[in-house]
Amino acid sequence: MVIELVQHLKASVHASAIGGMPRIEWFVDTVIDFLTSPITGIRTRSYWPELVAGLLIAALLFALREPHANRGLRRFLKFCFPASMWRHRSTWVDWQIIVLNQFFARSFNVTWRISGAFLASALLHGLTRVFGPSPHLLTWTPTTLVLYTILFGLANDFGYYLFHVASHYNRWLWAFHKVHHSAETLTVLANVRAHPVEYAVLGPITAVTTSLVLAPALYLGTGQVTMVDIMGMNLMAVMYCVLGTQLHHSHIWLSWGRVLEHVLISPAQHQIHHSTAPRHWNRNMGGNFALWDWMFGTLYVPNGREELTFGLGVGVKQPYPNGLAAYLLPFWEILPERGKQAIRLRAGHLLPLLRRPFAAEPHGHPVASQPPH
């Protein structure tokens, strides 16, 4: 219903005088999408059920950790939304990146054709040529659909793990992923503090891993295969909500214990992933599952609560004073030195716009071939 209302609103904009001005109409439609995305769930990682689930888990933790005399709505709001975090300069950069991504991220998505459906179709064609027509061995029942949904979610998360590891160890990918790790405060906004180039790289990788599940399912199954939804949400997304995914980027410590944290990434584990402490670097790379970290030796399971600071490293100066710098500086960092010298000579008058980020490498920047996080 909400999506229909949004579509009706856009149709009204198109029918008005604005409809005769395509660029202004695009701008208005983008603003509408930005403001309504938490309600519609379209192009957002902050869908309202996820936010509500995170808030409910935070409320439970608050009730368990705070003495009864100290409870109350005002204290709970301070517990969830400390002013020092939301006023922090890093949080304002989060906002700027989010707005820039809303308007310009699609322009970077040059790999959009390399989708899971495209690769699965090609793989299905290959299976048919090698093994002949589909034997239709699999009937889609509620049980098999649940298993398929879980396998697809695992494949998607494994693709993210591969991308994440590559982003930490590849010099060029790290230049873009570093934007996310430069967050010095973890709030729900930092969840989408990402350079759009990352989405262009992540998409094809997860397309490969998920197609390895989708193609066999299409080949072996009878009829159309679909994901299992609960109240309009994918079954795996519901599970992630229950596990507090929205608290991954927060100051609220929540650990699942040593056993479960070998299987699932807890909010505490992802917060550790963002830590400036060298012992935490390149750990807990999985998006939602810790299985991959356990299998490949990148797992870090805390023995108890650890005091954490966030950012690129102890004493490392924040390289992105604003969203524009976060967008442009990664391209600068992947240039060879000769290209940097040429740009310094020809574009010196533009540098003040970014507070001279091109003047030198960010203070404390690690060895290029070995990114710290």
The domain ranges of the chain are 46-373
Q: Which of 231, 235, 233, 237 is nearest to 148 (CA)?
A: 235
Q: CA angle at residue 62 from 67 to 300, to 5 degrees?
A: 120
Terminal CA-to-CA distance of the chain, rounded, Å? 43
Residue 56 banded pLDDT, cuts 50, 70, 90: very high
Mean predicted confidence (pLDDT) in 268-284: 95
Give percent of the chain above pLDDT 70: 91
pLDDT band at 300 (very low <50, low <70, confident <90, very high): very high
Q: Which residues contact 172 (CB under 8 A, 6 or more apart)?
A: 334
Q: Which of 240, 307, 312, 242 is nearest to 274 (CA)?
A: 312
Taking CA atoms, 160 is separated from 51, 73, 92, 280, in Å, by 22, 38, 27, 19
Residue 367 has pLDDT above 50, yes or no: no
CA gyration radius, the chain: 23
Q: Is the pLDDT of residue 106 over 80?
A: yes
Mean pLDDT of the chain: 88
Q: How far apart, in whole angstroms, are the C-alpha atoms of residue 143 and residue 159? A: 25
291: part of which helix (H) or strand (E)? helix 291-296
What percent of the chain lies above the pLDDT cut of 90? 57
Per-residue pLDDT, 361: 42
339 token code pair: 């290209």
* Average pLDDT estimate for 25-51: 85
Average pLDDT over residues 82-91: 92
pLDDT band at 42 (very low <50, low <70, confident <90, very high): confident
pLDDT computed for residue 348 by the predictor: 59
Decide: 326 and 320 in contact? Cβ < 8 Å: yes
- Rounded mean pLDDT of 295-310? 95
How many residues are given for the chain?
373
Helices 89-108, 22-40: inter-axial angle, 10-degree rounding: 120
State the pLDDT at residue 134: 86
- Which region among 102-116, 315-329, 336-350 has the lowest average model confidence (pLDDT)? 336-350
Q: Can you state the angle between helices 323-333 and 171-181, rounded to 10 degrees?
A: 160
- Looking only at the bridges linking them, the beta strands covering 229-230 and 233-234 are antiparallel
3-state secondary structure of 339: helix
**Region at 215 (left for phi over 0; alpha for psi -120 to 50; beta for the rest):** alpha
Least confident interval from 105-109, 155-159, 279-283: 105-109
Asked whether residue 368 carries a pLDDT value surpassing 90, the answer given is: no
pLDDT band at 366 (very low <50, low <70, confident <90, very high): very low
Distance CA 90, CA 99 (A): 15
In terms of C-beta density within 10 A (0-12 exposed, 13-18 middle, 19 or more buried), how is residue 330 classed?
buried
Task: Read off φ and ψ for residue 311, nearest 5 degrees.
Answer: 140, -165
Average pLDDT value for residue range 31-56: 86
Dihedral angle computed from the Cα positions of residues 327, 91, 301 and 163, in that order, rounded to the nearest 10 degrees: -20
**pLDDT tens figures, 204-238:** 999 999 999 999 999 998 777 888 888 778 899 88
| DSSP conformational letter for 221 | E
Neighbours of 103 (CB within 10 A): 13
pLDDT reported for residue 347:
63
Confidence of residue 343 (pLDDT cuts 50, 70, 90): confident
Cross-strand partners of 138: 221
The predicted pLDDT at position 35 comes to 87
